[in-house]
Structure 1
Amino acid sequence: MRIIILGNKGGVGKSTVGLLLAKRLCELGKTVLLVDRDQIGYASWLVGIKRKGLIASVVDREEGDYFVEKRIGSGNLQVLKFYGDGPRLREDVRLIISDPKLKRAFSQRYQEVLSLGHDFIILDNKSTTFPSNEEIKLELDAYTDRFPNTRSYRVFVTDPFQLNIENTISFARKLNEEEVLHNLPVRVVGQTLVINMIPTTRMEEMRNLVKELGNLFSSVIFIPFLDELFSFKGSIDQLPEVDEINDLVTLIQRVEMFPE
């Protein structure tokens, strides 16, 4: 299953939520491929990937050092730095799409990573990402070529500011509309809204704020502000246990086993 980490704004904890999900799934004995598609490359940095991502390495015709495999608990974490090399992304993607040789090289390298096998793939995205974006479509086409019947679960992350929550909800609705309009090659089987970094004094306010969402989300997860996460700089296996993330993993696994 593809777990897609999404958000309307940077700095709300998308990468941290993706890492926490990956860590928990690994602790349950799963093999997780975390694809870092955030332009900052935070997840890649935590596992020691400091050089160019896959996209830039293909364009520059370099071997690259964009993949790390790490044992966590009884599971296995694979981290692929897809991109994260600053403003060159758009031009790099344009070059790959327009040059058959580069496109074949990209596909071959990505397929090499996918051939290692995984139970879950978690895709950490930059802000306001749509499947029709060229860089997203490039990855999605290559993935579904190998796994044509894949399903996906969307996790939307926002901070507790009302405007950002409203914008994230609007973003989720637009994504649902795009899915229908463009007949995407993956089936979305659920989506969760994660409201992150909530001060304890505002928890009840947050719960009341989202009561009117109807059936847009399968669930809403409320994560309190945690100092140890906000300033975290350790290795992934040192991330703290977060009960709300464990609940989300349980929900995703249930959907994976018993899709509607």
Structure 2
Amino acid sequence: MTAPALRELALTGERRVVHLPRWLRRAAVIVVLFGVWQLVSVLGWLPEQTLSSPAQVVTAAGGMISSGELGEAMLTSIGRVGLGLGFGIPAGLLLALVSGLFRAGEDLVDSPMQMLRTLPFLGITPLFILWFGVGDTPKIALVFLGVCFPVYINTFVGIRNVDGKLVEAARTFDPGRWRLTWSVIVPGALPNILVGIRLALGTAWLALVVGEQINADGGIGYLMLNAQNNLETDRIVVCLVIYALLGLLSDAIVRVLERVLLSWRQSFAGA
């Protein structure tokens, strides 16, 4: 075979290389991990008392779904997170606007926020129980704190990182303070705002786990606590998977918002 023919054959072979879609590659990683998990469980390398196998977890999930307890717990937890997000995100945005737009606002708001954000959830929970009782309010308050701080910090940083030359150029048209804010500063800070919301959604579920496992009468954390008391690792894993899926869904929603709201921005997407 001649050299030109060999080169043509090599090029044809390169063109025939099939590239798997990204979603399929992502899913394949999860499938492989679960396959390895099931294998080590079947071989006895991972005792059931330590961690149930995927097959046992699926069986436990089916029982929890058929009994209705998993659906009820999910609705309770989602409701608590929804209320915490509904209060926490607007509060974080408002405080960041006051602190980021005005130096006097920064002097009044930023120092207390930086102090409060370092307080651990476990340290605050007993105080919230004393203040709000043992109902849903202390859980919602924990989610509120977990959401408010990342939104505040990222929004504040985004406002202060807006290009000063762009602001000065806009001021030449004398748009007024509020029009300047909503037309220039907020769009410039929008990438950071969305990052803050994305972090806040993840933190919201972490805060809820803490609240529901320490003091709860319902929710996914309540199911986990009961499973822990009964040494049911399969039910614990089911609850952990639900938390992970809810967090993944929340993150996906923000990623869609980023693609819609930041469609004007050409950013590096990886090689």
TM-score, normalised by the number of residues in structure 2 = 0.23
Structure in which a larger fraction of residues adopt strand: 1
Higher Cα Rg, which structure: 2
Structure in which a larger fraction of residues adopt helix: 2
- Greater relative contact order (Cα 8 A, min sep 6): structure 1 or 2? 1
TM-score, normalised by the number of residues in structure 1 = 0.24
